[in-house]
Amino acid sequence: MNIINNFNFKNYMMKITMNKRKNYLGSMKIKFLTFLFFSPVFFYCQSFSLNDFFDYSPVLQKEVDRVFDSMNDTSRVGQLIVPAVGRLGKPDKHVIDLCEKGKIGGVLLLNGTVESFTNYVHLFDSISKANGFPSPIYSADAEPTLIKYKIKGSTPVPKTNAIKTIQEVESVAQQISDDLNAIGITQNFAPVIDASPNEVVSNRSFGLNMDTVIDFSNAFIDVTQSYGIIATAKHFPGHGFVSGDTHKKLVYIDGKMKEVENYLPIIANDVLSVMVAHIAIKNNDHFSTDNLPATCSRKIVTDLLKDSLGFNGLVVTDALNMGGVVNVPNCGLKAIKAGCDMLLMPVDEEKDINDILSAIQNDIELKLDVYSSVKKVIRLKLCLGIL
């Protein structure tokens, strides 16, 4: 399928999304919301949910602007930074210092226990509140295959490749989401929508039949987001058919990107976040990345994911300390210039913030892009109910 020129398919998916929303709201709900909107009380008691993120709402936009206008550029850019805590994360003192300065927008809870992660949520929420900054978005790699390693003490669930029916997907997603809600985790870096042949993906995938992968992934996303948790489709533009491990080195898609099409129905199903992988593309007339990982390529993040596929949600990088990207000079700034909205696990958060602040002083287009990313993060936090 030609992604760029296939406007008919894209329009078809947009119609499905619109019909889904219309059916969900129903005529009585529309009338009720109309009544509320024109009631003076509405402007004082309105709350939002993740269902509101993609919808036009003057009230929500006004609140986003209010929060944004209350911040300076340093705390704004800080909203794009996601360090990690836990066994494989940064020292607690380091992340606490960033939090006290308003230089984090999220925290990845990486390899710990239910108890320790719950304590982290309480700690960083209290620090943010005491210093007048927005609370972080708390994320975890709570894939069915990985959760027992990433969050010890969580409810046992089968590995992703052992799940065989939609009903099992929904049940597993419910159990995982219950655990995440109890801890206070508001973003799950799941599901993996890659095909299974890659050795790193393997049992983290729903399999090789892409119709099944898409259907199961959408079911996982539906349940996750119904629990008030941001679901994240990964690893764009597709990790299933590459050879190698991006944790260790830059790997390549040679020629056609076979898995990009799988994101169309995922995006049409209103997934709120997409994670971009440290995968380079070569021998592709439109999307070769000149030996840069996709995370640092505007062709992939903006031209393909945002513009051609029409994704308007949160774009987050894979971890920036991985071998596939860590040796790229100024990789954090390059990822922001590419169109990523949040930087996951930067090696040097302060440097990335300063690089971005310096760059936006002399580049008005980049400044507007950065501001758009910041407002996207704020909008998600409002829809999560954490502001």
User: Right CATH number for 48-384 from 3.30.2270.10, 3.30.450.40, 3.20.20.300, 2.40.37.10?
Assistant: 3.20.20.300
Whole-Å CA distances, 95 to 88, 268, 302, 345, 350: 13, 36, 30, 11, 11
Cα end-to-end span (Å), the chain: 42
What is the DSSP annotation of 25-90? HHHHHHHHHHHHHTSTTHHHH----GGGTTS--HHHHHHHHHHHHTS-HHHHHHTTEE-EESTTS-
3-state secondary structure of 344: strand
Block residue for tokens 């049409």: 268
Structure tokens at 153: 């003490």
* Among candidate residues 177, 269, 276, 268, the one with its CA nearest the CA of residue 229: 177
Asked whether the beta carbons of 168 and 158 are under 8 A apart, the reply is: yes
In the DSSP assignment, the letter for residue 165 is S
CA atoms of 40 and 138, how far apart (whole Å):
34
Structure tokens at 283: 């021998």
- Evaluate the omega torsion of the peptide bond into residue 158 and state whether it is cis, within 30 degrees of 0: no
152 Cβ contact list (under 8 Å, min separation 6)? 112, 113, 114
pLDDT for 201: 86
Give helix 114-130 / helix 92-100 axis angle, nearest 10°.
Answer: 30
Asked whether the beta carbons of 83 and 137 are under 8 A apart, the reply is: no
What residues act catalytically? 318
User: Which helix (H) or strand (E) segment is 230 a member of?
Assistant: strand 230-236
CA atoms of 260 and 277, how far apart (whole Å):
12
User: Which helix (H) or strand (E) segment is 364 a member of?
Assistant: helix 364-384
Q: What angle do CA 130, 135, 141 make, to 5 degrees?
A: 140
pLDDT for 231: 98
CA atoms of 338 and 299, how far apart (whole Å):
8
* Among candidate residues 251, 181, 265, the one with its CA nearest the CA of residue 223: 181
pLDDT for 44: 38
pTM flag (> 0.75): yes
CA atoms of 386 and 378, how far apart (whole Å):
10
CA atoms of 8 and 2, how far apart (whole Å):
11
Say if residue 29 is exposed, middle or buried (CB neighbours under 10 Å; 0-12, 13-18, 19+).
exposed
Structure tokens at 36: 């509320």
Say if residue 31 is exposed, middle or buried (CB neighbours under 10 Å; 0-12, 13-18, 19+).
exposed
382 Cβ contact list (under 8 Å, min separation 6)? 48, 60, 63, 64, 67
Amino acid at 232: T
Domain ranges of the chain: 48-384
Number of H helices and number of E strands within the chain?
14, 13
Asked whether the beta carbons of 104 and 83 are under 8 A apart, the reply is: yes
Q: Kindly give the confidence (pLDDT) of every residue in the chain, 387 residues in length, as a single tens digit, with 9 standing for 90 and above.
A: 444 444 343 443 444 444 444 444 443 343 334 433 433 333 334 689 999 999 999 999 999 999 999 999 999 999 999 999 999 999 999 999 999 999 999 999 999 999 999 999 999 999 999 999 999 999 999 999 999 999 999 999 999 999 999 999 999 999 999 999 999 999 999 999 988 778 888 899 999 899 999 999 999 999 999 999 999 999 999 998 888 889 999 999 999 999 999 999 999 999 999 999 999 999 999 999 999 999 999 999 999 999 999 999 999 999 999 999 999 999 999 999 999 999 999 999 999 999 999 999 999 999 999 999 999 999 999 999 998
Total residues belonging to the chain: 387
Beta bridge partners of 251: 279
CA atoms of 313 and 308, how far apart (whole Å):
14
* Among candidate residues 319, 318, 289, 282, the one with its CA nearest the CA of residue 304: 289
pLDDT for 196: 76
